[in-house]
A and B are shown apart, each in its own frame.
Chain A
């Protein structure tokens, strides 16, 4: 038993080198893959052939997964459910393929295997999206695959251009990279992910700096874990994010996005106009604080029809490898018509109707024990408890949470262990100038 969850990032960074591939070895592997896929990987190989040797080229590879047992009461319709999961199984890789006088080129990829392990979804009070409700949906197999070109990081400014599929520059860190196993209700208010995009970013300043990013992407949400986007919709949606680093370990973010018809691939459903603001304080300290406000307007032809707000606070403290984290959230979600499987809904509200708005108050506490570690693998046990209260925002309402769930308050208990192996990223969706491997920013870390 060595270090705990809190210092996992530092530990895994130390362990990164033994798992790093030599560039020639990885380029050979990529070349083979490129023969099969014919996309994106090929340029890396070409660039490799053209680039001079650089000592800091390296590939990183890491894997994560969480084994968890959840009991929720009532989970739905006055029923208590107990289920086991292999959740958040990811294989993450990155390679700085080339670094020279004019900049660097880096590829980032993540495979998410929830389509295999989480098809029914994961019990998660209040969570909704992509046809699931009160269960978290599985993410797509190709979670991200991004290629970034960036200017050198040594100047008072830096610029980058990224393209591929991944996290758009909107909102805050994906919950998968945060402390808790259960997602907040606001996932779809606070993040826009798994889109095909091109994004540009500029950093100005050094120790105190600001970063502005702008991305163009496809608005349609994934239909399922193994489906791709509608390519013709690339560019119909856009987002801009401003991130300011006013002091060490402090980060302030504001972003705004327009997402065209996320719920209906062929278009015609509500558009989403989304806003997010956040503050995070942390760094390598075992203590961190995260505050977030997010809003989604469902709009028709530019006119907001329904508005859903969210505020969330997370905090963490630690001592001798033990970690104690807490989250409080108030988030509003739209209700849709449920299917025979009560954990599924229609998507898109194509007839511009919703079944009401539910306001969720959710509190979550997690206690994590010091991790068991062997070589580059770590296993951190945890216990997580959640309490949720849901209420219709307006009356009369046809969706009355207390009647539907069977109680005014829902409890959930989850016990499990988080497995990390290899080199882990501490944050996701940070491309170009926000990527510590390319830029000079060392933004605060989350627990991991």
Chain B
């Protein structure tokens, strides 16, 4: 019996600022408040209950991205209550709390000793360090790290950066004893790098950059397992640069047909970005096909969060804030006038664009991550901090 918990995908960095994109508030989200962060650049966001966690990135002035900020979000206004400083870190990327709330996982980029930090969350606002890995296969830096429970066991799916003469690789850690993670799978993949994963219902999706998106059976579609994943298929999406994914389950239509694939094109962090959202139809796991695309001129997508009950996707879009899309129903069927030149359906022409949210900021924004909850949508803006908005409704 498979029980898999899927969580947000986070990572990266991107860029470009078309001035017309970076102003005004979104039509589908209502801005509530901003938890300002001015001492560091903000990276990923995770929310559990009344507590939000944001990581930090790079160097702002002389402050490193070695902090995980802890927010009380029980009220409208996010309130910073504490911070955890991750030892010997210069960028903390992904952050995630396990489904049972017991541990928090933080990805640490190359510094040059990257890895992950795992915290006990007995007190959700006072994380206690269990282990900060050093050396080994994670030393080149963990760009993304996802927690997922498969057959009752909690795993960390860690993506280790490439370096010269070192291939990027997926390293899966068994966190049965979170203070002593055990590697159960490790494999080089991605050209030139693996960037992220998504785990759900016994399937593992891998963002293998120019090699496209991989689909693996880890127990949900055959005899694969976490320790011995079996590749089912691989699809090269248009333009490559596969960065992140979200396999959508629509509880209303029972559709599990589509995977949203984020493309991260070239960009300059803080000012410019590029890359589209690609929609891949996986009706046939062995023959996935790209059927639709969403593009914002002058900006590029980053991490996703989906309100599946309402069929609404929130895509962090760096200098274009958060893009809100209607993802319910058939996204692969459209009229001739709704297609791109290469024949894919264009979500914008199909009227699926619902709005843009930039946190009520009149100047430039650079949104890294977004996290939907039934009562609020939180967005992490590298330049300003943590935005809070009311969710979109159908």
Contact = CB atoms under 8 A, between A and B. Distances in A.
A267 B59 CA distance: 27
A116 interface: no
B14 interface: yes
Interface residues of A, number: 42
B58 A355 contact: yes
Contact of A398 (B62, B90, B164, B269): B269
A355 B270 CA distance: 8
A84 interface: no
A267 B60 CA distance: 30
Contacts of B94: none
A394 B195 contact: no
Contacts of B162: 264, 266, 268, 348, 350
Contact of B264 (A340, A352, A396): A352
A337 B109 contact: yes
A408 to B, nearest CB: 14
Given A337-B109, A353-B13, A355-B58, A220 B270 contact: no
B96 interface: no
Interface in A90-112: none
Contact of B268 (A263, A265, A300, A355): A355
Nearest to B110: A346
Nearest to B89: A340
B58 A337 contact: yes
Most chain-A Cβ atoms within 10 A of its Cβ — which of B91, B162, B168?
B162
A78 B165 CA distance: 35
Contacts of B168: 350
B84 interface: no
A220 B192 CA distance: 14
A266 B90 CA distance: 25
A352 B266 contact: yes
Nearest to B243: A351
B251 to A, nearest CB: 34
B15 interface: yes
B88 A357 contact: no
Contacts of A171: none
Given A268-B210, A340-B90, A346-B110, A353 B267 contact: yes
A133 to B, nearest CB: 12
A351 B193 contact: yes
Given A339-B110, A351-B12, A268 B269 contact: no
A47 interface: no
Nearest to B383: A396
Q: Size class of B's contact patch?
A: 35 or more
B69 interface: no
Contacts of B192: 264, 266-269, 350
Given A354-B269, A396-B270, A397-B270, A220 B143 contact: no
Contacts of A400: 61
Interface in B161-182: 161-165, 167-168
B17 interface: yes
B111 A264 contact: no
B328 to A, nearest CB: 32
Contact of B270 (A267, A337, A356): A356
A150 to B, nearest CB: 35
B127 interface: no
B92 interface: no
Nearest to B161: A350
Interface in B1-35: 12-15, 17
A78 B15 CA distance: 28
B53 interface: no
B198 interface: no
Interface string A97-135: 000000000000000000000000000000000000000
B382 interface: yes
B13 A340 contact: no
B268 A353 contact: yes
B268 A356 contact: yes
A61 B219 CA distance: 68
Interface string B188-221: 0001110100000000000001100000000000
B271 interface: yes
Given A339-B111, A344-B112, A396-B17, A352 B90 contact: no
Most chain-A Cβ atoms within 10 A of its Cβ — which of B143, B161, B167, B192?
B192
A347 interface: yes
A306 B265 CA distance: 12
Contacts of B210: 268
A36 B109 CA distance: 43
Contact of B267 (A78, A223, A352): A352
A305 B191 CA distance: 19
Interface string A233-267: 00000000000000000000000000000011111
A363 to B, nearest CB: 26
B301 interface: no
Interface in B262-289: 264-272
Contact of A77 (B41, B62, B268): B62
Contacts of A352: 241, 264-267
Contacts of A78: 62
A275 B192 CA distance: 26
Contacts of B143: 351
Interface string B41-72: 10000000000000000111110000000000
A327 B269 CA distance: 32
A398 B60 contact: yes
B267 A264 contact: no
A77 B363 CA distance: 28
Most chain-B Cβ atoms within 10 A of its Cβ — which of A264, A306, A342, A398?
A398
A430 interface: no
B270 A265 contact: no
Contacts of A220: 164
A395 interface: yes
A403 interface: yes
Interface of B: 12-15, 17, 41, 58-62, 88, 90-91, 109-113, 143, 161-165, 167-168, 191-193, 195, 209-210, 241, 264-272, 363-364, 366, 382-383
Given A351-B195, A353-B14, 12 more contacts: A230-B165, A264-B162, A266-B165, A269-B192, A306-B266, A337-B109, A339-B111, A353-B13, A355-B58, A355-B269, A398-B269, A403-B61
Q: Give the top 7 A-B pairs by smallest Cβ distance, nearest first.
A: A268-B192, A398-B270, A265-B164, A403-B61, A305-B266, A352-B266, A353-B13
11 contacts: A77-B62, A264-B192, A337-B90, A338-B58, A346-B110, A350-B162, A353-B15, A355-B58, A398-B382, A398-B383, A404-B59
Interface of A: 77-78, 220, 223, 230, 263-269, 300, 305-306, 337-340, 342, 344, 346-348, 350-357, 394-400, 403-404, 406
